[in-house]
Structure 1
Amino acid sequence: MAQVPTIPPAGAADRPRWSVVIPAYNCADFLARALPEVLDQLGDRDDAEIVVVDDASNDHPERVVDALGEGRVRLVRGERNLGAIATFNRCVTEAKGDLVHLLHGDDEVLPGFYRAMEEAMEDPAAVAAVCRAQDIDAGGTTLYTTRSYREGTGVWADALPTFAVSNRVRTPGIVVRRRAYEEVGGYRLDLPHAADWEMWTRLAAHGPIVFVDEVLARYRRHDGSHTSELVRTGANVRERVEAIGTVCAHVPAERRAATVRRALAYSVYFAGSTALRRARAGDWSAAGHQAREAARCGALIPRAVELTG
């Protein structure tokens, strides 16, 4: 098994309540849309830090920080491009706060996000809080809103089996206690397109996840994103299948094979639905790749035990 990166302790001295850490790579225009709302909610708080971690962009995110940061935003500049997952680990390491929010540079939060998530994390036993989110396009138009997984805010009782089957978390909609990152480790570098899914499942196996039944974050889908590139080739589904065994290893052994079968079945549905959407949009190449991956996932279901390791 690949080694899980270690997250060093942040130390207790002058520890802020919040760390909003924004990984950014060639998304300066979107970063300019995200920063004002973060500052509006946390800019006046002495117990919050806001950090932009630039992965060696060439579109000058420092200009956005200088223009909009109000002296409250710290920029950490990468000398070379590390890639998304290594940058996430760098973000968590940079964070000093009790509550860590990794807000990708092309995503956004809605008014009330930090208040609601802080209230959800009042119980120190909670390792993370997840809210509902909107999927938006490049221009900010809402495409989809994630559903409620429980009525009202409270502990997500079946978070672990739910996460193990599919990634139900939009990355701007989760806040993680830094202590939990220190205890479970960082994002796995051997899962370049599924590291977040594995992380959420690992956290759910570690302690309580609180579900916040409010729409408070916005996840941007656009053609320039890494995810869109993966969809065009079917690599998103292939990586998902490769990760299923690792993700489901966090489920109790007696439920592992059944969970793998459910995860594969969901992969068939996911890839098939994506194929239909891409076909309706006239993207026949992507539709074909997704349809082929759906068929491949279906063929793997009888072999689910082999994927449990």
Structure 2
Amino acid sequence: MVDVSVVVGVHAHPDRLIASLESLRQQRGNLRWECLIVANGGFQPDQHCANLLQADPRFRLLECLQPGLTAALALGCSEARGALIARLDVGDQMAPERLERQLQAYTQHPDLVLATSDVEICGPAWEHLRTDSQAAATGVPMRVDTVPPEQGIAIDIPHHASVMFSRAAYEAVGGYRTAFYFGQDWDLWYRLSSHGTFVHLPETLTRVRLFSDGLSSRHWREQRKIAKLSLACHVARSRGQPETEMLQKAATIRPSPQHQSPLPWDGRRAEGAYFIAEALRRNRDHRCHRYFREALRHGFWKPQVWIRASQGLILWVKTMVI
């Protein structure tokens, strides 16, 4: 008997996966959980990761033959045995009380279909960047399909890795849709919104790490396009109109083919490093200079990086003098 199935998609970085799995093993309470780790892209666990997977039978390693996170998540959810499904991304961590607190919300509110919480956004070495929360969050479930469809839903979901949702509701709405290779989460949230209540717990239950080579860092442009199409589908459904055109457009948004001989610089990685560096600089954290160096190495032609890197260097020098 399983209370919660945690679904994680992975295609690389077994060292980052270990941090996530260890946070699962530290969950408090007497709840019964399983973790479905869905590998694609030729993922191979290193020895430490393999030992961890073998040591705990609650971990189940599955192989997805289709590329992309959406396909991996769909497979994991189809194999889930729990009445509830929780998400976690590789490299992120759950607070020890996360599953217990979210499960408690479902126990108290039978009409609940999705629970989320505050999320701490961190850099690769757990440097604090910001905390995503909602000022009006009360911890009380609410209907979120109460605003005009053009405005989406009446709640923001801070991060895909923060949610726990009802498996029955997930299956009722058709689950993750493979047309959405990037940003599959909001398409699902919109469809779940008409099936019950959502709740935002005003406490930090998930810590998310951003990496310069991560999916969100490299493919934020594609995610923005997908977000607009997800909303357009939501609006069309509310009007009783077909989604066919939007789904066809979404299906064309895929990653570009990898070059056989990669260049020594990478503009998209530079953007990811710059985002982390600038967040740290705004926090007056001198560790920003490390990521500015990475951004300059991969995107030396970008003037904004040079300007902000100079400001970061001044901050670093002041810190060293003090």
Q: TM-score, normalised by structure 2?
A: 0.67
CA distance in 1, matches of 2:208, 2:66: 23
- Structure 1 residues 204-225: Cα deviation after superposition (integer angstroms, max 9, x where no partner): 1221112211111022211121
One-letter amino acid matched to 2:124: A
Q: Which residue of 1 is the match for residue 177 of structure 2?
A: 188
Which range moved further: 109-118 or 67-76? 67-76
89, 93, 98: which is aligned to 2:78?
93
Q: Distance in 2 between matches of 1:94 and 1:100?
A: 11
Match of 1:179 in 2: 168
2:195 alignment counterpart: 206
Q: Could you tell me which residue of structure 1 aligns to residue 224 of structure 2?
A: 237
Give the equivalent residue in structure 1 for 2:289.
Answer: none
Distance 1:236 1:171, change over 3 A: closer
CA contact (8 A) 1:22 1:104 kept: yes
Aligned-pair CA distance for 1:187: 0.8
Q: 1:168 to 1:47 in 2, by over 3 A?
A: closer
Find the counterpart in structure 1 of residue 8 from structure 2. Answer: 22
CA contact (8 A) 1:54 1:77 kept: yes
Distance in 2 between the 1:144 and 1:107 partners? 15
Contact 2:115 2:200 in 1 (8 A): yes
Structure 2 counterparts to residues 100-179 of structure 1, below 5 A: 100-122=85-107, 123-158=109-144, 161=147, 163-164=152-153, 168-179=157-168
Would the aligned equivalents of 2:14 and 2:49 in 1 still touch at CA under 8 Å? yes
- Which 5+ residue runs of structure 1 have no aligned equivalent? 1-13, 254-273, 289-309
Identity of aligned residues (%): 20
Distance 1:287 1:186, change over 3 A: farther
Alpha-carbon displacement from aligned partner over 1:2-39 (angstroms, at most 9, x marks no partner):
xxxxxxxxxxxx4x111122221103111111111211
Q: What letter matches 1:244 in structure 2?
A: L
Shift of 1:73: 3.3
CA deviation after TM superposition for structure 1 residue 45, in Å: 4.6
Q: Residue deviations 1:43-67, cap 9 Å, x none?
A: x857322222222443426751423
Query: 1:143 is paired with a residue of what secondary structure?
Result: strand
Distance in 1 (CA, whole Å) between partners of 2:30 and 2:59 is 15
Secondary structure in 2 aligned to 1:185? coil
- The residue type paired with residue 128 of structure 1 is L
Distance 1:160 1:187, change over 3 A: farther
Q: What 5-or-longer segments of structure 2 have no aligned partner?
A: 241-270, 279-291, 306-322
Secondary structure, in 3 states, of the residue corresponding to 1:154?
A: coil
Q: TM-score, normalised by structure 1?
A: 0.70
Tell me, in whole angstroms, the C-alpha distance in 2 between the residues paired with 1:157 and 1:125. 10
Deviations 1:254-293 (A, max 9, x none): xxxxxxxxxxxxxxxxxxxx99x759667675989xxxxx
Instruction: Name the aligned partner's letter for residue 190 of structure 2.
Output: T
Q: Deviations over 1:84-114 (max 9, x none)?
A: 1011100101111011112122221112101
- In 2, the alpha carbon distance for the partners of 1:46 and 1:120 equals 13
* 3-state SS of paired residue (1:66): helix
- The verdict on how the C-alpha distance between 1:164 and 1:286 changes in structure 2, with shifts beyond 3 A counting, is farther
- By how many angstroms is 1:189 displaced? 1.2
Residues 72 and 189 (structure 1), Cα distance of their counterparts in 2 relative to 1, 3 Å cut: same
**Relative to structure 2, which stretch is displaced further, 165-174 or 124-133?**
165-174
For the pair shown, the structure with the greater C-alpha radius of gyration is 2
For 2:303 and 2:18, the matched residues in 1 are separated by: 31
2:52 is aligned with what amino acid? A
Query: Structure 2 CA distance, aligned partners of 1:215 and 1:250?
Result: 33
Change in Cα spacing, 1:196 to 1:218, as seen in structure 2 (3 Å) is same
